[in-house]
Amino acid sequence: MPSNLENLTKQLSDTVGNYVSNADASEQREQILELAKAIRAEVETPTEKVQEYLTLIMEMPAVRLFMEWDVFSEIPDSPGGISYAELAAKVDAEELLLKRLAGVLVAKGILKQIGKDHVGHTKFSPIFMDKKGIAWWFQFFLYDQGFVNHHWPSYFAKYGRKEPTNPKLSPVSFAYGKEGKSYWEILEGRSLQDFIIGMDTMTRLVPWKETLPFSWFVENKHLVSPDAALVVDVGGNRGEALKAIREEQDLPADRLVLQDRREVIEQVDLDDPPELRGMKRMAHDFFKPQLVKGALAYFLKRIIHDWPDDSARVILGHLRDAMGPESRILLYERIATNPPSLDIARSDLTMMNLASKERTEDDWNQLLHSVGLVIVKIWRTKETPQSTVIECKKRNEL
């Protein structure tokens, strides 16, 4: 009888064959990665798993430091790479230090060593040059969340081994010595700017544009009065969602509204991106009554998952009070499964640091029902079933 390892190996071989012969093979690619992980789990020892963790503890800070110093950007895209001596001079660092830091990245295949004293790119390293890509989010995340996670033992020793539910007494508040303030009150300076850039990045990368057809806004705009807002992007950061919607659909700019904290809107006004000109920009606290009444859609992109249920009810309640008979709240959120995927599990612990959580479909139904809202439809795609747009309306309007 074939062993599990043999079965997995055969599945991998068959899937690789389909992947090579299929031009559109994204599904096979995911299967290959999962099978490769399963094969590794079959042969890896517990000791090797711990050793992997030990390596990650050093690997990730080395990557972040090289990003901070622009090391990746100074490595030329050429077969010969660059000497450690020349690279050290370019980034104003000691050659021996640079080579030691690079050692773990070479060993892990992030960089490659050429000969004895040169280093070059691999297929993985150029992503760390992009200051507006997902690697920038990694840089912020490692510093911010890594710092908070380091304080978990002390936090739970003080507050008990239970779920954090108070945003002002969260692991984040505790770690930064700011108990009595939420994460959003703590963010400032460079951390705030890095967070804003990170949110822009995630807006571009997450598949929300594929989840909800933008034609929905055009097809339903007749349901509200001609002067009503069509989209209110609540907590919309720098307007990436509105830009994307307007690029695809010819909606009147003056019927699109961007709302966020005052400091974010002030930065948007300072930058004055051409794509947002003509749109209304409003400094708004979503814990206060919504000033834009009767809009077709109030769009919140991963806002509610930042807040525990009590806080979420306040946010949703203000939107409910502003809704007209045909208004919708569109929540771009993940729906957790049991057990959760790795991506959801990671995000859930990130939310725990803010005293919030990722929610299952039952959780969402209960939360929305508690504030007089009901789910009309959950928009999702086959490729990303856990990333959804939850369309809801007032319960008595259904």
pLDDT tens, residue by residue, 61-117: 999 999 999 999 999 999 999 999 999 999 999 999 999 999 999 999 999 999 999
Which two tokens mark 226? 């001609």
Helix (H, G, I), strand (E, B) or coil at 212: coil
Mean pLDDT, all residues of the chain: 92
Candidates 248, 259, 255, 249; CA nearest to 224 is 255
> Highest-confidence range of 11-20, 365-374, 389-398, by mean pLDDT?
365-374
Give the pLDDT mean for 270-299: 96
Catalytic residues: 305
Is residue 262 scored above 70 in pLDDT? yes
Written as one string, the DSSP assignment of 26-68 is: HHHHHHHHHHHHHHHHHH--HHHHHHHHHHHHHHHHHHHHHHH
Residue 188 burial class via C-beta count within 10 angstroms: exposed 0-12, middle 13-18, buried 19 and up: exposed
Give the pLDDT mean for 21-40: 82
pLDDT above 70 coverage of the chain, percent: 93
pTM score over 0.85: yes
Q: 128-172 pLDDT, tens per residue?
A: 999 878 888 898 889 889 999 999 999 999 999 999 999 999 999
Domains of the chain: 4-43 (no CATH), 46-129 (1.10.10.10), 134-192 (no CATH), 206-397 (3.40.50.150)
Q: What pLDDT score does 132 carry?
A: 78
Q: 163-222 pLDDT, tens per residue?
A: 999 999 999 999 999 999 999 888 876 666 677 677 666 666 666 677 888 999 999 999
User: DSSP character for 396?
Assistant: G
Higher pLDDT, 50 or 16: 50
User: What is the C-alpha separation between 81 and 76, in angstroms, rounded?
Assistant: 6
The runs of H, that is alpha helices, within 69-160 are: 71-74, 84-90, 95-107, 134-149, 152-159
